[in-house]
Structure 1
Amino acid sequence: MKGKRKLVGRFWTYVFAYLLAIIMLAPLMWMIVSAFKAPGSTVTLLSKLFTPPFTLESFQKVLMPGETAMMGRWTFNSLFVAIVQTVITVIVSSLAAYAVSRIPFKGKKFITALFLIGLMIPFESIVVPLFDMIVELNWTNTFNALIWPGMNLSLAYFILKQFIDQIPNDLFEAAKLDGACTFKMWWTVVLPLSRSSMAAVGIFTFVQSWNNLLWPMLVAQETRMMTLPVGIPTFQSTFSTDLAVPMASNVLASIPAIIVFLIFQRHIIKGISMTGIK
């Protein structure tokens, strides 16, 4: 009787999991199918969504260069900003976490408190003064404005510090006996052991930068400097009420983020949960 109840409970668990997966995947499938409909087709009715014809015309319109739609340029901007932000965030946050965790100096608690404050303050509350600074620096419509203010070092710092705190002191003592300096200990001890954690931080940073809308919309007013989240909505106004073309642009914009996630997905849980003892 007990085994039967356990089997029934497992059955309903799987049913709930599959239903939840279907609910989560339904909007994604709707977007993909709509992208292969002809421009101007009805994609808001389920009865007409899966009826032929299916075509690549919407993708051709998206990829066609023009004055108001520069998909290639927007993709380059998003990739460049996301990659640079990811590399800088991972390196700087790792060095900061290592310094606070392993180097004795006064003010360590104060630095940690500053990072904690950075997590508690919403970005929207500092948009106005931050934008004024960008205007004063004459950085509007430049990569400097897109890259530097958009980095989230606080979350990356806390994830990496939590990992570095768990690395055994014996490894650092052994490195000191071998004559390693402070930077070399980070390079030879912290960096190899924290690769999974750094990969997880890199994924979070890349996806956050790739999907960022508010800040690029404020500082990138010229078409050539727009990123994909800012440029894609222009298809809606350019091609009136046509939804097939914006859906095609969303499919293309989702590909890089999906590829990054699929390649590094095993590092997300592993990087956060694993300790320094292997």
Structure 2
Amino acid sequence: MTTSTTGPTRTRARSARRPRTRGNSILLTSGLAIALAAVLVPFYWLVIASTHTSQEIFDSPPPLLPGGHLMDNISALQETVSFGRVVLNSLLIAVLYTVCAGAVCTLAGYAFAKYRFKGREALFGLIMLGLVIPNQVTLVPLFKLMADLEWLNTYQAVIMPNLALPFGIFLMRQSMDALPDELLDSGRMDGCGEFRLFAQIVLPPMKPALAALGIFLFLYQWNDFIWPLIVLRDNVSFTLPVALASLQGVDDTDYGALLTGTAIAAIPMAVVFLALQRHFVSGLLAGAVKE
């Protein structure tokens, strides 16, 4: 008797769950489509606007198809702010900063995760205070330091002050904290020196975390505006955000050239993220769950 009623009951339960599951799937897909449109539509209009003149951009209705003034806008950028040199400046500074800051944050994270020394927790807490201190608070003393070192209007003035980035140190410390101590001890027993141990045993499992750190550092420096604006003086030394800001006049702004420069500035960010996005999420989650 029990067997005969269980079968139909399960069948009715499954059939009742199917419409609910299908409805949830449709709702989720619709929400994702709306979110995707909200993200992509502004980028689409940015690319379209970069091919039009300032007058055409403010037409009503606004243009939704590509125009024929892309090269004119690029020429205007080159004449106004030496755009090719500005792009080269930004790429060079961002790459150098990513490499140098990545090395500093990785070594610091390893030291805080795997070495025991007096004052370790106090020092790490002091570094973490940097996450809650606004950057504007340090602008004046940093500028005075750069002036005393005669580094104003140089690449090192842009790169050096933020090499030990608190978030980067925190990310690498949390990731390396999940690495088993027994693995390091076995390497030391086999005769590995500390730098060989770091390079051959510690770094290979950290590739996802390093990819996440690299993306964060590159985008952080590529988009930085306030500090390069303060320490860079010549037009030929400007980075992209500073050069694009200089295109905005009080009475007259060439929005076609401005949006063209903005669209070009977004290309390296997209390339870096797409190249490393396979590791990005796993890198951010590394160390979040510890055995």
TM-score, normalised to structure 2, is 0.87
2:153–2:233 Cα contact (<8 Å) kept? yes
Q: Decide which moves more: 205-214 or 166-175.
A: 166-175
Pairwise CA RMSD of aligned residues? 2.2
Structure ID, larger Rg: 2
Q: How far has the Cα of 1:249 moved from its partner?
A: 0.9
Q: Distance in 2 between matches of 1:51 and 1:141?
A: 41
Quick one: percent identity of the two aligned structures? 29
What does 1:103-252 align with in structure 2 at a 5 Å threshold?
103-151=115-163, 153-237=165-249, 240-252=252-264
Q: Which residue of structure 1 aligns with residue 3 of structure 2?
A: none
Alignment coverage as a number of residue pairs: 274
Q: Which residue of structure 1 aligns with residue 50 of structure 2?
A: 35
User: AA paired with 1:94?
Assistant: T
1:146–1:216 Cα contact (<8 Å) kept? yes
Q: Distance in 1 between matches of 2:22 and 2:196?
A: 55
Deviation string for 1:180-201 (max 9, x for gaps)? 1222211111111112211110
TM-score, normalised to structure 1, is 0.91
Q: Does 1:255 align with 2:233?
A: no
Q: Distance in 1 between matches of 2:90 and 2:74?
A: 21
Deviation string for 1:175-221 (max 9, x for gaps)? 01111122221111111111221111011000010000111111112
Q: Which runs of 5+ in 2 are unaligned?
A: 1-15
Q: Decide which moves more: 95-104 or 238-247.
A: 238-247
Q: Which residue of structure 1 aligns with residue 279 of structure 2?
A: 267
1:41–1:242 Cα contact (<8 Å) kept? no
Q: How far has the Cα of 1:146 moved from its partner?
A: 0.9
Q: How far has the Cα of 1:152 moved from its partner?
A: 5.2
Q: Which residue of structure 1 aligns with residue 114 of structure 2?
A: 102
Deviation string for 1:55-79 (max 9, x for gaps)? 3233432453x3x411111111111
2:208–2:282 Cα contact (<8 Å) kept? yes
Q: Distance in 2 between matches of 1:127 and 1:114?
A: 19
